[in-house]
Each structure stands twice: as C-alpha cells, then as structure tokens.
Structure 1
Amino acid sequence: MKPTLLLTILAFGLVSCASPAPATATGTAAASAKVTKKTAAKPKPYPLKTCLVTGDGLDEMDERVSTVYEGQTFEFCCKPCLKKFNKNPGKYVKALEKEKAKAKG
C-alpha cells in the first residue's frame, strides 16, 4: 500500500474517533428537569432522606427520581412529585431551606 493512502486512511480514522458523542439525557428526571444555564458546576447534593412534596421516605415508592434546579439536586419519592415540583419549584426551594435550617439548630 502506498504511504499517502495509508496516511489518509489513518487520518480519517483519527478524525472520526475524535468527534464527540451526541449528548443524551440520563435518568428518569433528566428529560423533564428544569436545569439552570450554570450546568458546569457540580450540583449540591440533596440533604434530606424524605420527599419535600409528600414528606415520605425517598425509597417508599420504589420510583425515586431527581432533578437539578438552580444548582441544587432535589430528590422525590415518585414521578408525580417531580411534576408537582416543576409546577412551582420556588415553593420547594423555600421548603428545603427551612428543613436545612431546622437541621442546623
């Protein structure tokens, strides 16, 4: 095989391997999550063991879902709770702040 043909094939192979993979949504909640534009920073972990919507334990429904809103991860016991959160996230942001304040003292 001629060296130029070999180099062309090799270059094509490297270029095709270097192209980025298409972005895909991960997890159940990622497709419906309202995410802020500041996605470069790692979101804060969810500090509670209960769902903010129902007050139940996160694993009681076997459908645990999560989303990221304004750099904070929120976890819920089921998909309907995520839908309720998405209708009025500010309500649950305030509720999380109250719960975190209770835990501090």
Structure 2
Amino acid sequence: MKSAILTLLAIGLASCATPTPAAPTEKAPASTKVAKKAAAPKPKPYPLKTCLVTGDGLDDMDERVSVVHEGQTFEFCCKPCVKKFYKNPGKYVRALEKAKG
C-alpha cells in the first residue's frame, strides 16, 4: 500500500514540473552595434601650489586633500578647508580664475 501511494505521489509531482525553456539559438544580426558610453572628461588639474582657502603651501600640511568641482580639481591643505570651500564655492572658483590670470 505504501509503495502504491509513493508511486502515485511521484507521478503527481512529475506531472506538475514545468519544462525548462530551450535557450535561444538565434544570434543577433551582425549589423547590430552596442552604443558605448562616452568617457567622462578628465578634470582640469589644479594649477597652484597653495591652498585657496588659507594661502598656505600645499606641501606644508600632512592632510593635503583634493576634490573635483564642476570639472576642475581643487587642492586644499586640510579637510576643514574643503568644508569652507563648499560653503561658498563660487568665491573660490573666481579666486582660482583670478590666480591663473
């Protein structure tokens, strides 16, 4: 009796299984091209040897930090200067433009 129940259970479970779909065999046409993303432009290098916030030499401090803002790299003597920069970035962008001449 047990074997008959197990046989019926096995047949019932087997009939519930769904067939695995076959993998597509068709290839994409050769003319199909994948569009590549344009590489982001490299940020402009920082041209000064001093921090725009303090005026101190960048190599005078151990905490030299750099950030990229609107495609321009800015370097600072320490992390607190980065916070001051982001409070009024326009001020320092103009200062950099003026310093570059």
Output the TM-score relative to the length of structure 2.
0.60
Q: Hey, what does 1:25 align to over in structure 2?
A: none
The structure with higher relative contact order (CA 8 Å, sep 6+) is 1
Q: How many residues align?
A: 63
Q: Distance in 2 between matches of 1:87 and 1:59?
A: 24
What percent of counterpart residues are identical?
Answer: 84
Q: Distance in 2 between matches of 1:45 and 1:59?
A: 16
Q: Hey, what does 2:86 align to over in structure 1?
A: 86
Amino acid at match of 1:56: D
Deviation at 1:61, TM superposition (A): 1.7
3-state SS of paired residue (2:86) = helix
| Larger helix percent | 1
Q: Distance in 2 between matches of 1:74 and 1:89?
A: 10
Q: Considering only CA atoms, is the larger Rg found in Structure 1 or Structure 2?
A: 2
Q: Distance in 2 between matches of 1:56 and 1:85?
A: 15
Deviation at 1:60, TM superposition (A): 1.3
Q: Hey, what does 1:23 align to over in structure 2?
A: none
Root-mean-square deviation (CA), in Å? 1.1
Output the TM-score relative to the length of structure 1.
0.58
Segments of 4+ moved more than 3 angstroms: none
Q: Hey, what does 2:61 align to over in structure 1?
A: 61
Give structure 1 stretches of 5+ with no counterpart: 1-38
